[in-house]
Amino acid sequence: MPFLLLGFAALVILVLVSRAFSRMKTAEAARWSRILMGLAAAILGGLLTLRGLAILGAPLATFGIGLMAVGAGFRPKPSRENPSSSPGSQSISREEALDILGLDAKPTNEEIRAAYRKLMKRVHPDSGGTDGLSRRLTEARDVLLND
């Protein structure tokens, strides 16, 4: 009887978690998936290590902890030597900016803004993109609009 109640409780929890995931945005669901899978890997790795299989358990636990950290949003800071990481630096040429935004040789300001907006919707950090990509697009737009 206790196993039947435990199984029923697990089924109810699974249904509630599935409903919560189905209502999340994709980026948020991916974040929680990383955290939960990292937690499972860390627990399994810890159990394997305690059972004497440290050669399998330790790397698995380390991977799980790393996966949880990525899911929680911990990212390495950009290095100071990279000139494109400092805000306001315009280290790309006009040709590179045109290539980044996918524009012709003489685009109008409206074409530049439209191409920037279209690409930024895909690479913005809130949409699952990275800070580096959005910074590069902004830099390319600024170079072209300032010419």
* 89, 132: one domain: yes
pLDDT tens-digit readout, 64-92: 888 888 877 776 666 655 444 445 454 78
* 69, 37: one domain: yes
Q: Is residue 20 part of a domain?
A: no
pLDDT in tens, the chain (147 residues): 788 888 889 899 889 888 888 887 887 778 888 888 888 889 889 888 888 888 888 888 888 888 888 877 776 666 655 444 445 454 788 888 888 888 877 888 888 888 888 888 888 777 777 778 888 888 888 888 886
* 94, 70: one domain: no
> What's the pLDDT score for residue 80?
57
> What's the pLDDT score for residue 11?
92
Grouping H, G, I as helix, E, B as strand and the rest as coil, residue 1 is coil
> Rounded distance, CA 47 to CA 57, Å?
7
115, HSE (Cβ side, Cα atoms, 13 Å)? 21
Q: Is residue 12 part of a domain?
A: no
Do residues 22 and 52 touch, judged by C-beta distance below 8 A? no
Q: Is residue 66 part of a domain?
A: yes
* 93, 70: one domain: no
Token digits for 143? Answer: 């170079």
* 89, 133: one domain: yes
Q: For residue 114, with 0-12 CB atoms within 10 Å meaning exposed, 13-18 middle and 19 or more buried, which class applies?
A: middle
Token digits for 73? Answer: 């949003």
Buried b (16+ CB within 10 A) or exposed e, 62-100: eebbebbeebeeeeeeeeeeeeeeeeeeeebeeeebbeb
Do residues 97 and 143 touch, judged by C-beta distance below 8 A? yes
* 90, 134: one domain: yes
pTM of the model: 0.43
Domain with 131 in it? 83-146
Q: Is residue 137 part of a domain?
A: yes
Token digits for 59? Answer: 């790397």
Average pLDDT along the chain: 80
Q: Is residue 33 part of a domain?
A: yes
Residue position matching structure tokens 């860390």? 42
Which CATH number do you get for residue 106?
1.10.287.110
> Rounded distance, CA 61 to CA 41, Å?
6
> What's the pLDDT score for residue 85?
46
The total domain count for the chain is 2
